[in-house]
Amino acid sequence: MFKGTTILSVRKGNKVAIGGDGQVTFGETIIKPDAKKIRRLSQFNVIVGFAGATADAFTLFEKLEELLKNYPDNLLKASVELAKLWRTDKMLRRLEAMLIAVNSKVSLLISGTGDVLTKEDNVLAIGSGAPYAQAAAIALLENTKLSAKEVVEKSMKIASNICIYTNDSFTIEEL
Query: Which of the residues are catalytic?
Result: 5
Residue 19 bridge partners (DSSP): 8, 172
Residue 29 bridge partners (DSSP): 26
Burial 131-147 (b: 16+ CB within 10 A, else e): ebbbbbbbebbeeeebe
Burial 154-165 (b: 16+ CB within 10 A, else e): bbbbbbbeebeb
